[in-house]
Amino acid sequence: MDKSLMNEVKNKFLEVFKTEPLLIFSPGRINIIGEHTDYNDGFVFPAAVDKGIAAAIQKSNSGKCTAIALDMDSTVNFELDKLKPSKKGNWENYVFGVVAEIQNRNKIVGDFNIIFKGNIPGGAGMSSSAALENSVVFGLNELFELGLTKHEMILISQKAEHNYVGVNCGIMDQYASMFGIKDNALHLDCRSVESRPYKIDFKNHQLMLINTNVKHSLSDSAYNDRRSACESISELLGVKALRDATEADLETVIDKVTPSNYQRALYVIQENARTIKAAKAIEDNDLELLGSLIYQSHAGLSDQYKVSCDELDFLVTQAKKNKHVLGARMMGGGFGGCTINLIAKKEAKAFAETASKAYKNKFDNDCSVYFIELFQGTHLVK
């Protein structure tokens, strides 16, 4: 975690509100494999990272609440009994949504001030949104002694995203950000919302992210469309979620679904199976197998689920040309953001340079490379 980021929000808080705040760090996440499986009650394999949101929060006695997003140099004042979603795309929806969802659970929140700043660029697919939601719910839970469990807090964050942000997300991002364990990835069953930690030590290999630095605008609507397609196919199959279906089950309705929805459902069923195999591959330290599952995941996301984009596909193609990259795929919701690469440590820098050059030539835009550490979930910083 970046201490200077934490100090910056703390100092700003002291300067603006003249009281000592509670400090919270809430991490973003990566996901090794298991994409678009969470809202199908399936398996995912995320980890919290050392990048995220630093927040300073304290009660307010000014009769109103103030939230300041330092990154955006933007301040919003609001009253707790007049909450409603702000314009689509505005950052304050993450804050308002969390407060509103806490109130919906008949918990009483008093006036508060919050200042936050992040070091994950928005749109990187590393879930700065879940990190922000979790920092708000975690901070309010501490401040007003709401007695919420971590599981309750992540459901509040998720509902805030559904009802105030307008993305019908699954539970992966909020879970990983809240429950992250240092040096571990979490093999999460999104039905039971329980995970098993896997210590991640790939010896001579490591995970590296490359951010395309693009986020194509259809991402939110396409996300919601994919989710409804999955739900309608589950209904047709008479199962609770696609996690309960097999490829053979899907074949029985082949004439009743569009070819594109058939491919989408097939992708989910296959990705869920890959995620279970990946856990075993990590356990066996079989990095070749893990890498090939990661490449297969990208192919599915791009060709079957259709949530990739030219920039992501290009970076994965670059990775495939380099024998030191065992696996690469788009990460997160898609239509931009990062690729995650499983690469030999001693070749990582060289590949990053080659891929960056090629990317610049092709798109006349820079990509960014992140070496991340797996970190603990949302917590108070003393």
Using CB under 6 A, which of 54, 67, 114, 172 touches ligand GAF? 172
Q: Indicate whether 36 belongs to the interface with ligand GAF (CB under 6 A).
A: yes
Q: Are 161 and 350 in contact (CB under 8 A)?
A: no
Residues 68-127 that bind ligand GAF (CB under 6 A): 127
User: Minimum distance between the CB of residue 200 and ligand GAF, rounded to whole angstroms?
Assistant: 19
Q: Which is nearer to ligand GAF, 10 or 159 (by Cβ)?
A: 159
Q: Are 258 and 295 in contact (CB under 8 A)?
A: no
Using CB under 6 A, which of 154, 156, 160, 169 touches ligand GAF? 169
**DSSP-derived 3-state class of residue 221:** helix
Q: Which is nearer to ligand GAF, 113 or 212 (by Cβ)?
A: 212
User: Tokens 């092709």 identify what position?
Assistant: 362
User: Minimum distance between the CB of residue 331 and ligand GAF, rounded to whole angstroms?
Assistant: 8
CA distances (Å), origin 27, targets 52, 112, 254, 359: 4, 22, 41, 28
Using CB under 6 A, which of 50, 92, 173, 311 touches ligand GAF? 173
Q: Indicate whether 39 belongs to the interface with ligand GAF (CB under 6 A).
A: yes
Of 173, 244, 255, 286, which is the active-site residue?
A: 173
Q: Indicate whether 38 belongs to the interface with ligand GAF (CB under 6 A).
A: yes
Q: Which is nearer to ligand GAF, 181 or 222 (by Cβ)?
A: 222
Rounded Cα–Cα distance for residues 265 and 325 (Å): 29
Instruction: List helix spans (H) across the chain.
Output: 3-17, 92-104, 128-143, 150-160, 172-179, 219-237, 247-251, 259-283, 287-299, 310-320, 348-363
User: Minimum distance between the CB of residue 161 and ligand GAF, rounded to whole angstroms?
Assistant: 7
User: Minimum distance between the CB of residue 213 and ligand GAF, rounded to whole angstroms?
Assistant: 17
User: Minimum distance between the CB of residue 48 and ligand GAF, rounded to whole angstroms?
Assistant: 14
Residues 122-141 that bind ligand GAF (CB under 6 A): 127
DSSP for 4-32, written as a single string: HHHHHHHHHHHHHH-SPPEEEEEEEEEES
Q: Indicate whether 35 belongs to the interface with ligand GAF (CB under 6 A).
A: yes
Q: Indicate whether 336 belongs to the interface with ligand GAF (CB under 6 A).
A: no
Q: How many CA atoms lie within 13 A of 52 on its CB side?
A: 35
Q: Which is nearer to ligand GAF, 113 or 128 (by Cβ)?
A: 128
Task: Tell me which residue of 61, 120, 154 sits closest to 332, measured CA to CA.
Answer: 120
Rounded Cα–Cα distance for residues 44 and 46 (Å): 6
Give catalytic status of residue 71 as yes or no.
no
Rounded Cα–Cα distance for residues 192 and 185 (Å): 17
Which residue stretch of 18-26, 58-66, 96-104, 164-172 sits at the interface with ligand GAF (rule: CB under 6 A)? 164-172
Beta strands 46-59 and 22-31: pairing type? Answer: antiparallel
Q: Which residues bind ligand GAF (CB under 6 A)?
A: 35-36, 38-39, 127, 169-170, 172-173, 332-333
